[in-house]
Amino acid sequence: MEIRELDTTDPAALRAWYDVRERSVRADRPYALLATYAAFEVVATASSTYWSRTWFEAVDAGQVVGVAELELPLEENLDLGWCEVSVLTGHRRRGTGRALWDAVVARARQHGRSRLGGEVSLDLAVPGAGLAFATAVGAVEKHREDHLLADLPLPPAQLDPAYDLVAWRGRCPDEHRAAYLAMRNQMNADVPTGDLDLDVEVLDDARLAASEERLMRAYDVRVAAARRRSDGVFGGYSLLFVPHGTDHGWQDDTLVMPEHRGHRLGAALKSANYADLPAHVTQVHTWTAPDNTAMHRTNTTLGFRVVERMYEMEAPIA
Ligand SMILES: CC(C)(COP(=O)(O)OP(=O)(O)OC[C@H]1O[C@@H](n2cnc3c(N)ncnc32)[C@H](O)[C@@H]1OP(=O)(O)O)[C@@H](O)C(=O)NCCC(=O)NCCS
């Protein structure tokens, strides 16, 4: 068995890498939300100023049997890398996962990283081997979130009449960009991350624009925001991605600014986004820390149910 780096200029190799990852993950996780091939292709073929990414593959008798991804942040968290390792079911417990991990660690060390983080998601009914594997390579739990799923349509949640709904798709309109950036940065500072010791990512207009441009290539990006009628001040937003050509949405950030809390804006903004979706979108995924009581309750009240437990793991590699 040989570990090699994926040649991202080779479309057939890209496809093979993606298929092995998808089959490996799906084997244990019927509710997994996986990037579409189009979304993977965007990330794998367009370079980014903010991230350096490497993909590895384990090849046995000419077949790819396992894959790994390493992401290195380039602007902040320069001591850290993020990784994921996946091995096809028929090829497990033979050291393939560990060999991929070793390749990831060696590359991360070359770039001066001293710790590696990763997410392990476990199905509620039949938990897979992810946590045992992560523990075996020296990782410990730093944070936990629930993965929740809702079937659409959901009963609507009304927006407080003191607020107007401001919604857009794709790029945030110029007139709202300053307010939207302020809210996005508040979100990055406020979101609970447990024991994960992370620098907060700071978005400026250029970084927001780069992220919007990349995301729009693979996702229908939908934002619903609430603007107070009395003074035009924005009180919160909710961000939803619908991968092109799929039947599901992925609920990303929802933030209510501190002075606007207590008006059920979070539920109303999510609900506004879902109500506006085309009929072929029938499910929405989201992630919430179980101890983030306000948001967990908002989600279950809206109609979400927990389908997986997600563990943020981290291993020292210095
Ligand atoms: C987790 C995964 C990558 C392991 O791949 P693998 O090739 O079987 O891993 P290895 O054979 O190198 O196992 C390394 C160690 O992990 C632990 N481990 C792996 N699978 C295990 C299992 N089913 N039960 C208990 N321990 C397990 C063991 O300590 C093992 O060492 P050992 O075989 O000497 O006892 C694979 O099961 C998988 O792809 N699962 C789905 C995706 C996933 O959860 N990835 C982890 C998130 S990054």
In terms of domains, do 83 and 160 share one? no
Ligand 1 atom with the shortest distance to the CA of 83? 48
In terms of domains, do 83 and 43 share one? yes
Give the number of domains in the chain. 2
- Phi, psi values for residue 21, rounded to 5°: -60, -45
C-alpha of residue 186 to centroid of ligand 1, in Å: 38
C-alpha of residue 130 to centroid of ligand 1, in Å: 6
What pLDDT, in 10s, does the model give residues 74-133? 999 999 999 999 999 999 999 999 999 999 999 999 999 999 999 999 999 999 999 999
* Total residue count of the chain as it appears in this document: 318
Give nearest CA residue, ligand 1 atom 23.
Answer: 129
Q: Domain range for residue 94? A: 2-138
What is the domain-level CATH number for residue 112?
A: 3.40.630.30
- Whether 145 maps to a domain, the answer reads no
CA distance 244 to 253: 19
In terms of domains, do 224 and 127 share one? no
The model's pTM is 0.93
120 lines ligand 1 (CB under 6 A): yes
Give nearest CA residue, ligand 1 atom 21.
Answer: 129
24 lines ligand 1 (CB under 6 A): yes
Rg of the chain (C-alpha set): 20
- Whether 314 maps to a domain, the answer reads no
Residue 86: which region, alpha, beta or left (left: phi > 0; alpha: psi -120 to 50)?
Answer: beta
Helix then strand then coil, % of the chain, to nearest 5: 35, 35, 30
Half-sphere exposure of 19 (CA within 13 A, CB side): 9
In terms of domains, do 88 and 186 share one? no
Mean pLDDT value across the chain: 96
Q: Measure Cα distances from 268 to 164, 217, 281, 293 in Å.
A: 11, 28, 19, 17
Of 138, 163, 187, the position where a domain reaches its end is 138
CA distance 95 to 18: 21
What pLDDT, in 10s, does the model give residues 54-69? 999 999 999 999 999 9
In terms of domains, do 157 and 299 share one? yes
Q: For the chain, how long is the longest CA-to-CA vector?
A: 68
84 lines ligand 1 (CB under 6 A): yes
C-alpha of residue 302 to centroid of ligand 1, in Å: 36
Q: How confident is the model at residue 194 (pLDDT cuts 50, 70, 90)?
A: confident
In terms of domains, do 79 and 53 share one? yes
